[in-house]
A and B are shown apart, each in its own frame.
Chain A
Amino acid sequence: PLQPPGPKAVPKRPGASRRKPREPKIASSLIKKIFSHYVKMPVTRDAFKIVEKCCERYFKQLSDDLEAYSSHAGRKTVEMADLEVLMRRQGLVTDKMPMNVLIERYLPLEYRKLLIPVAISGNKVMPSK
């Protein structure tokens, strides 16, 4: 089910037209899971609501920034390089903490494979570009 990320059209689901359009957002259960995983402390329901709001705001900011960075490089497509610039500005990626280390640390193997070439048996490298 995993496909390499890239600009592609989202297939329209039948019946989606009948429901009123809602803003897409990250499932609150997922936000809850991730947040509690890192907090290691009880969190009230209200606090989770605020975290959700912050996530929405974060994605708005993120898309604005990525747009600016890709257009700065004279592109209309957001690429890995834009994301790296963004994460550098956020102080996540530094000279001591390269992007690949973050990917290896925080992403599950199947996603890691898509982003970082992994040597597999048979003298092959995944993904083969």
Chain B
Amino acid sequence: VSSPGSTLTPLSPQRLQAAVHYTVGSLCQDVAEDKEVQFSKQTVAAIAEITFRQCEIFAKDLEMFARHAKRSTINTEDVKLLARRSNSLLKYITQKSEELALSNMEQKEKKKKKSSASMGGRTAEQEAAVTESEDSSMV
């Protein structure tokens, strides 16, 4: 959610747990509507608790994997390693990470275009036409 190096205001565990509980509640509601079943309050609370504790395990493992690769930043490779045990999960995670990578690339391209357009410089031949039209519209 945040870029590495940004300062996050640490939330208290209770607030974190409440946030998790709320999200789990919403997700359970979606499932309940989809499958036409009911979730008791205790069930939702239990799932929230499980999720919260599982996060601790995930965090520790991800830290370990990053350190193992002599990195101090956790990246998608570490996350994939976390999901390695389950084939279907690994497939899903890999697909999602590819989608993310693509959207990131697109965003970067857009940024490049913007900066190159504002500076009037040309970084790629493909953008040349676009920047030209933008330049003419700016003048």
Interface of A with B (CB < 8 Å)?
65, 68-69, 72-74, 81-82, 85, 88-89
Contacts and interface: CB of A to CB of B under 8 A. Distances in A.
Given A72-B81, A85-B68, 12 more contacts: A65-B84, A68-B81, A68-B84, A69-B81, A72-B68, A72-B77, A72-B78, A73-B68, A74-B69, A85-B64, A85-B65, A88-B64
A81 B69 CA distance: 10
Interface of B: 61, 64-65, 68-70, 77-78, 81, 84
12 contacts: A68-B81, A69-B68, A72-B65, A72-B68, A72-B77, A73-B68, A73-B70, A74-B69, A81-B68, A82-B68, A85-B64, A88-B64
A74 B61 CA distance: 18
Contacts of A73: 68-70
Judged by DSSP, the binding face of A is helix
A74 B77 CA distance: 12
Contacts of B77: 72
A97 to B, nearest CB: 14
B110 to A, nearest CB: 32
Nearest to B78: A72
Contacts of B70: 73
A74 B69 CA distance: 7
A61 to B, nearest CB: 9
Nearest to B82: A89
Contacts of B68: 69, 72-73, 81-82, 85
A74 B68 CA distance: 10
B121 to A, nearest CB: 36
Contacts of A88: 64
A82 B67 CA distance: 11
A72 B64 contact: no
A88 B69 CA distance: 15
A89 B65 CA distance: 10
Contacts of B81: 68-69, 72
Nearest to A69: B68
Nearest to A81: B68
Contacts of B65: 72, 85
